Chain A
């Protein structure tokens, strides 16, 4: 079978071939690289640092909330801590995490390309991310910012005595990194697919990133404009948002959410792409309803631009606007439901393994289900009046952002780790950490739904005593979650030193990324692959010899 030609073992005549990691060891060979895989690795390290920082701030928040009084920190520090947590996690972890790390590494390989369409722009986007991140970290070290990550006016423009402009500049700069990544993905997907890689043979991971990229390039300029207007008002006292100067504070909220709601889809869509890969590959079945999952991503990207007003149901916008936004919010729930049903149906009659990435996918399904369904609570406008700005909202978006995005990210990192590094990690510790994350997460955030309905407002350094018991549960859960999230750092790094060699295709899967050596060579494939099979094809037409793999297999089923 001719397609087997494209599988390389990484060894030729007993000699190790050069791969992207061994192709140059100097610092310069990394910092000036145009290789999308090296850029992805540098992104991986960077977002991990930001995730760790954001996680430390989260820990401080939970510690402070262990007791009703603001005793660990006074409220000024608490306000800075929750703002830092939000800004770092949203702009420097959640938005770049999956596209810039996994998307960067895999999108070209999955479509059979040598690199992204614009390798230099790709490197530039990393540098822009670093500059934006450095500005923000510098502002945090100077004393931070106390506006919340939402920067609502007129507090942020006129009243806050903190480093609003510096953090704003960091976010402004960082936005261009998103725009360039999105641009690169769109052009690459259009122009660099290998022969035979038609649109409907693309892995759903690529479809998800394509949809994400559309949102990135259309939405991100709006936050740039908004931050710029904020700067103009703060520095020159021109009335834009501040009513004392003749401006309108609600205008800021419209502009802010016009970006920041679609940004939620920048965070969740790539994760949905990862989950489609995991569920299909680890049940060894073609995904159920490929076209419906692909187009639901596009539908989410489009409708995502029409629902920003559901963040403003109690802000004083007209009640008719509120009703329209509530209606559209209900509509956007449907494509997400379609995805969940298709993922479930994919499992039917599969051959399901319980390997670590699949456990993360299972965890995602559970948590995203809760996150999505509580989204309906918040779309039901009469109910939102009661629960908005309470812990109900905090719990909801953590179920979507952590349960959805972070679990997808961790699942993806585990799934492609053998490809990225050539090494297998400890399956035992992988499963332990996946379970700890799931349990710790639920213990942390489920009580917050109840707190929210009871009326505990968010962003409170001190709270009435009747809320303490549930807050203790939440803080206890956060420590379990912390351990679950720290373990992968240890055993993944450990695998680099003592991990078994993964081989090109440890799970015998059909995707193009499994048809090159691990780690891949600098230009991904020895020769351009020709695609003759559908996505997620486990049949004969995939060109893989499953019989042989079964005969030679030394591993036993996981259950």
Chain B
């Protein structure tokens, strides 16, 4: 983690991959300076050296040179490939959450960020996280597109209605950092921001203790599941129940009616609550009613957390060996397109 505080006009970096993004940035500045200096120096030299000395001159003809063309096609290609590889490595780090993350839920809405911790604490437009701890945000929105952007962490991700996207980081320095919405979302887009507070673990524990909540998302989800929404009447009761078994399914492959399979990730659970007839599990009848319009995004997040907990995935501040992280993004699109087709 290089120190960049001496560079003028340079933003503070406070996450484990901030230095990687900065290194890539400096590499690109070096490459750009290299090409720019060559071209600008050549152009200026030619402009002065070969300025016209008489009007309507007929200087010697030069047609071109194949070796030169090949040379200046090949060199930029090779350099651009080094840039591609550097970018790819950094991107893979940014967008592939590790397994042992602390999970926090984010719901965007015009024009605020609603955040809920695995231990139940809620906050708006502020996010408190402990330093040196891997944090994964699972995000969705109640209305339009938003984008969760923390410049000091050098990362951002769009928040998309109808699916979950995720963002992860590990903060390296306690402090207060800007949070922006970076995807245009209407009237008060520029007001949709706040602060991320990175705290020492013990300060964070104090903060959590000072903001006691009644229920964790898992408890909230359990309450919805068994009492308020009545999911339990079909989904709890062993193999002979009417609804599919939910215990132990999270992150596993599920066989669907019609022979397809799907990974039971957050998006699949969400889609199955809102659009149950879409991807019915093999061996069950498509009799579940839709809950679209009856549950809010925050309740959905709680239900997903509860169903995850049935597979031994706490969704809270402990380890969450989720489905291969990349598959979240990869399976989201087909799942959604399938939903659109009906």
Contacts and interface: CB of A to CB of B under 8 A. Distances in A.
Contacts of A319: 91-92, 95-96, 326, 329-330
B205 to A, nearest CB: 29
Contact of A320 (B53, B184, B330): B330
B59 A351 contact: yes
Contacts of B156: 314, 385-386, 388-389
A507 B58 CA distance: 12
Interface string B171-192: 0000000101111111111110
Contacts, number: 335
A340 B153 CA distance: 36
Interface stretch (A175-183, A420-428, A459-467): A459-467
Contacts of B42: 344, 347
Interface residues of A, number: 112
A148 B54 contact: no
A32 B278 CA distance: 58
Interface in A533-557: 537-539, 546, 549-550, 553, 555-557
B269 to A, nearest CB: 16
Interface residues of B, number: 98
Nearest to A555: B55
Contact of B340 (A247, A322, A352, A353): A247
Interface stretch (B116-124, B158-166, B215-223): B158-166
Contacts of A19: none
Contact of A379 (B87, B93, B160, B185): B87
Interface of A: 70, 75-76, 79, 146-148, 150, 152, 154-155, 158-160, 239-240, 242-244, 246-251, 283-286, 288-292, 313-320, 322-323, 326-327, 330-331, 333-334, 337-338, 340-342, 344-345, 347-354, 362, 365-366, 369-370, 373-374, 376-377, 379-386, 388-390, 450, 453-455, 457-464, 470, 507-508, 537-539, 546, 549-550, 553, 555-559
Interface of B: 9-11, 17, 20-21, 24-25, 28, 31-32, 35-36, 39-40, 42-43, 46-47, 50-65, 68-69, 72-73, 76-77, 80-81, 83-84, 86-96, 110, 143-145, 147, 149, 151-152, 154-158, 160-163, 165, 178, 180-191, 275, 326, 329-330, 332-333, 336-337, 339-340, 342
A243 B163 contact: yes
Of listed A314, A344, A351, A458, residue having the most chain B CB within 10 A: A314
A549 B72 CA distance: 37
27 contacts: A146-B187, A150-B184, A152-B144, A152-B183, A154-B144, A154-B145, A244-B161, A285-B62, A319-B92, A338-B73, A342-B64, A351-B50, A365-B39, A373-B28, A373-B36, A380-B24, A380-B90, A382-B94, A383-B28, A385-B21, A385-B91, A386-B151, A453-B10, A453-B11, A454-B9, A457-B149, A556-B55
Interface centre among A354, A388, A555 (most CB of B within 10 A): A388
Nearest to B11: A454
Contacts of B89: 382
A382 B20 contact: yes
B186 A155 contact: yes
Contacts of B330: 318-320
Q: Which 3 A-B pairs have the closest CB atoms?
A: A382-B90, A243-B162, A455-B151
Contact of B50 (A331, A352, A379, A507): A352
Contacts of B191: 75, 462
A553 B151 contact: no
A286 B63 contact: yes
Contacts of B54: 351, 550, 557
Given A250-B160, A382-B24, 15 more contacts: A79-B187, A146-B186, A147-B184, A159-B186, A251-B340, A314-B157, A316-B329, A330-B83, A349-B62, A385-B21, A388-B182, A550-B57, A555-B55, A556-B55, A557-B52
Contacts of B96: 319
Contacts of B186: 79, 146, 155, 159-160
B314 to A, nearest CB: 25
Contacts of A327: 84
**Which of B53, B156, B185 has the largest number of chain A CB atoms within 10 A?**
B156
A454 B151 contact: yes
